[in-house]
Amino acid sequence: MKRLKFLLTAVFTAIFTIAVVTACNPSTTSTGSSSGGSSGGQTLTMATSADYPPYEFVDTASGSQEIQGFDIDIANYITDQLGYQLQINNIDFNGLIPALQANRADFVMAGMTPTAERKQNVDFSIVYYQAQNTIVAKKGSNLTTPESLNGKTVGVQLGSIQEGAAKDIQGANVKPLNRINEIVQELKAGRIDAAIMEDTVAQGFISSNPDLEFNPIPTTGESGSAIAFPKGSELVERFNPILEEMKSSGKMEELVTKWFRSEQAPGQAK
């Protein structure tokens, strides 16, 4: 009997301890594990603009505040391989490069294209995914080519390469907005005629907004996504071999399939 009492006390103490420890660990945007890399579980801070499904987004429908997506899986994989914890900060796209310049982030993953202009201010990894620009417009509006946007109002994300592409279109009235979902709302409300967006992102918005359609346009300048770092960061040399390894091992393809190709790809945007 004494023995039983002892056992019960031990069990209840254990349950209580687990409950307290769990309660003291509220979920934050920190992810990753300390899988014994050389850096002893230090934290790297990544900045992103989580308005870009399926690259990075908050799935508001699920009620979770957690940022998820293709870039997040890659960031988790790399930092895990290098033995770092990962902290993710969500800011507007236009503020990402200034955040690196002010050393407020160790790296940026935001489907960011390594342009010559950006390379003056930050360093980039190798390109890990290619993309193409498209015109998004209401179905039947016949806005399918750059020429058709002459005299039209075109929404783009502030500071993006799409803003540059739209400004190159003769006669287009460019309306830069902070976040991608604002562009979709403006389009649906008829306050803009069209938007320029990357194909994979457009695809997600179209599948949840059947009144819209998208048409690819020829790529003129730089395209694709790379990881950005503060100028001179030693992390570039450490991230690149892991990106290469992800490409050759099939890990990257697995994530591409998960986020861009599967029938019910997560993060079908609203």
Question: Which residues lie near ligand ARG (CB under 6 A)?
Answer: 49, 51-52, 55-56, 93, 110-113, 157, 160-161, 180, 198
Closer of 87 and 157 to ligand ARG (Cβ): 157
Contact 217, 133 (CB under 8 A): yes
Minimum distance from CB of 264 to ligand ARG (Å)?
22
Minimum distance from CB of 179 to ligand ARG (Å)?
8
Helix axes 235-249, 70-82, angle to 10 degrees: 110
55 CA to centre of own chain: 4
Closer of 45 and 49 to ligand ARG (Cβ): 49
Minimum distance from CB of 127 to ligand ARG (Å)?
11
Closer of 132 and 240 to ligand ARG (Cβ): 132
Please report, to the nearest 10 degrees, the dihedral formed by the alpha carbons of residues 67, 69, 74, 75 taken in order: -10
Minimum distance from CB of 44 to ligand ARG (Å)?
18
Closer of 156 and 235 to ligand ARG (Cβ): 156
Contact 37, 239 (CB under 8 A): no
Any idea what the Cα angle at residue 104 is, between residues 99 and 110, rounded to 5°? 50
Distances (CA, A) of 28 to 14, 31, 66, 82, 149: 25, 8, 8, 21, 43
200-213 residues labelled b (16+ CB within 10 A) or e (exposed)? bbbbbbbeebeebb
DSSP state for residue 218 in the 8-state scheme:
-
Minimum distance from CB of 235 to ligand ARG (Å)?
19
Minimum distance from CB of 228 to ligand ARG (Å)?
9
The two beta strands, 51-52 and 107-108, are unpaired
Closer of 34 and 94 to ligand ARG (Cβ): 94
Closer of 23 and 116 to ligand ARG (Cβ): 116
Closer of 34 and 53 to ligand ARG (Cβ): 53
Minimum distance from CB of 209 to ligand ARG (Å)?
18
Question: Would you list the DSSP string of 75-111?
Answer: HHHHHHHHT-EEEEEE--GGGHHHHHHTTS-SEE-SS
Q: Which helix (H) or strand (E) holds 196?
A: strand 194-198
